[in-house]
Structure 1
């Protein structure tokens, strides 16, 4: 359901005196006027509770005494061009400093139609916006009240009561009525009263499709960015879900790793049991197997393991010769290497270190001019 509160703004002169009467108002629900008055009843009408999906809005009507209207026609111009031209021509025809005037033109629906243009002052706009702000009101639009009066037939003028004003409407003007000036402006045309029901229908059409809005130009409200509460709730839920997933991934990975490690340890203990080693866990089983292999001269402490690594390292350094070679029961391999250059011996040492062995070297000079070094290689990396 859509609800609209229409509030007539007080004249600027009444605001200046500080004794503005209660504004005229009416409430429209779904295109039907359901309440109206010329008192402070608009407060209850605006604060009336609605459903959560109601589209409520406030529209203020500016008095014709402060905002007269003209309709300017440019038959050869497009609607946007007619609107711009009407604003410029109205500003040229207005009295006073242009910087103090607030001129707003509406865009015709079709080419050739007259463009409505309203002229007021920035001082009036300031007075009205301050009056609204003092009541914590933020209108969706401020429409000249004279814009609601429909155009008359070419040979007459309408006189209609809108709010507390009597407004006269000709084919190209709308202004507040003045008993002395009306006959002069009408000339030989008759001024006929507009039927109240027809005026009410015209007002509803104006509210549905305002021909122009004084909240434009320098008075156009700044856009305030607001987030949809439903969207905020969705983002929060997605953030929580992302956080939960981010925490679950490492937890699940750690659980699977722990389970795989447990299975591997169980397999080691089972294999050690087949070899005749009884141990409570994989670490104890591995230590016992290494001890038995060392006692038997095998395993990683055996001579063949570091010796094989040494021969592989020497294969890439053809100039290096093996002079002596010995092996201790703790797995340490001792050798003497000779080469024409120290760089060749260093190449072998670096290759052994790259395999993860601990290497120490003591260089010395050979009797035949070659470079030599006593090397010790730890069999266990």
Structure 2
């Protein structure tokens, strides 16, 4: 259900006087477009709490600014687009207004189609400050502030309406709406009759105006800043997702570590089994591997054999076709000694980097050859 509290703002002059009677402004409460309660007493306070969001997020508070402080004028620009007509109406109204422009708060509504009249409201920034402050003192924040005069419907041709709204008598002509003055009304109306507007029709027009405001004084410098509200359900969901993310982040390395440990245990078991098949009884894989290397070295094979570092050297030279071998020798400790030659030092470095990438320890002594070639005495440790 959509609930709306319609609250009349007191006149600025009365607020400046701190009149106690203003504690009981006129108000209406409408549910789904039907007036269900009204008065000029403290009954609006409970409804105001609901409209402020205490009870239901669908509740709204619409404040009506008195016609004595906010007269309305309708201007026509038949050939202008709606946005252009609204801008032109603000400029023309400012030009025709009395007083300093910086002190005035001029608001123009935007017509629905080209050629429609543009409603323009004129008040002051001081009045807006008084009204918003009066609402804030009561813990309220209006969703919109609509001039009460804008709610009076246009009169019949060649006539004017006089309507009572929120304790004010408002006169509505074809292009203006203002607070009634018995001395000035006949002069303004001239020969046109000023007819009373039925209360039922005025209430219907008021509800239509509240449902689709022609203009809102909470615009321009007085447009409320957007307030972000966090949904508690979304906050709880975000917390749960954050906890789950942290748990997964911790679980991934733990699982990886367990898998590595399991694979390591299987590999160690395989090494021990292979060693046992070769007649080596070792308590762990490291001892078994050391014993196998010792036996291979004694037999002249294993990682200390000539073929191991030599094959690594030839594989590294495959990607450096300009490098050649001048000499090659092998020691019993598995060290391979060679002299490499190439047109450029960079070519020899390419071979050395490839050997280092395979895990071999390299020492190099560069020199220049008599034939212009670049030479380097290289030692390659047979065991990575």
TM-score (norm 2): 0.79
CA distance in 1, matches of 2:334, 2:225: 84
CA distance in 1, matches of 2:340, 2:194: 126
* Corresponding residue for residue 14 of structure 1: 14
CA gap of 1:184–1:261, structure 2 versus 1, over 3 A, is same
* Corresponding residue for residue 125 of structure 1: 128
The CA deviation at 1:278 is 2.3
CA distance in 1, matches of 2:110, 2:178: 20
Q: Is the 8 A contact 2:313 2:355 kept in 1?
A: no
The CA deviation string for residues 241-295 of structure 1, in whole angstroms up to 9 with x for no partner, is 3333332322222222221111111111111121122223212222332344455
Q: What root-mean-square deviation, in Å, do the aligned CA atoms of Structure 1 and Structure 2 show?
A: 3.9
The CA deviation at 1:304 is 6.8
Q: Is the 8 A contact 2:162 2:171 kept in 1?
A: yes
CA distance in 1, matches of 2:199, 2:127: 29
Aligned pairs (5 A) from 1:81-160: 81-160=84-163
Q: Is the 8 A contact 2:71 2:121 kept in 1?
A: yes
Q: Give structure 2 stretches of 5+ with no counterpart.
A: 318-322, 366-376
User: Which secondary structure does the structure 1 equivalent of 2:268 belong to?
Assistant: helix
Q: State whether structure 2 residue 6 is matched by structure 1 residue 28.
A: no
Q: State whether structure 2 residue 226 is matched by structure 1 residue 223.
A: yes
CA gap of 1:83–1:301, structure 2 versus 1, over 3 A, is closer
CA distance in 1, matches of 2:174, 2:314: 113
Q: Is the 8 A contact 2:328 2:336 kept in 1?
A: no
* Corresponding residue for residue 267 of structure 1: 270
Q: Is the 8 A contact 2:107 2:216 kept in 1?
A: yes
Aligned pairs (5 A) from 1:292-303: 292-296=295-299, 298-301=301-304
CA distance in 2, matches of 1:106, 1:272: 93
Q: Is the 8 A contact 1:332 1:376 kept in 2?
A: no
Of residues 56, 66, 73, the one that matches 2:59 is 56
CA gap of 1:52–1:279, structure 2 versus 1, over 3 A, is farther
Of residues 279, 283, 288, the one that matches 1:285 is 288
Q: State whether structure 2 residue 190 is matched by structure 1 residue 182.
A: no
Bigger radius of gyration: 1
CA distance in 1, matches of 2:316, 2:114: 94
User: Which secondary structure does the structure 2 equivalent of 1:47 belong to?
Assistant: helix
* Corresponding residue for residue 71 of structure 1: 74
Paired residues in the alignment total 363
* Corresponding residue for residue 320 of structure 2: none
Q: Is the 8 A contact 1:321 1:339 kept in 2?
A: no
Aligned pairs (5 A) from 1:301-340: 301=304, 318-320=325-327, 327=332, 331=333
The CA deviation at 1:228 is 4.6
User: Which secondary structure does the structure 2 equivalent of 1:55 belong to?
Assistant: coil
* Corresponding residue for residue 39 of structure 1: 41
CA gap of 1:251–1:180, structure 2 versus 1, over 3 A, is same
CA distance in 1, matches of 2:87, 2:313: 94
* Corresponding residue for residue 217 of structure 2: 214
The CA deviation at 1:3 is 1.6
* Corresponding residue for residue 365 of structure 1: none
The CA deviation string for residues 92-144 of structure 1, in whole angstroms up to 9 with x for no partner, is 22222222222211122222222111111122112112212222221111100
Q: State whether structure 2 residue 200 is matched by structure 1 residue 197.
A: yes
TM-score (norm 1): 0.80
CA distance in 1, matches of 2:336, 2:109: 102
Q: Give structure 1 stretches of 5+ with no counterpart.
A: 363-373
CA distance in 2, matches of 1:213, 1:313: 81
User: Which secondary structure does the structure 1 equivalent of 2:59 belong to?
Assistant: strand
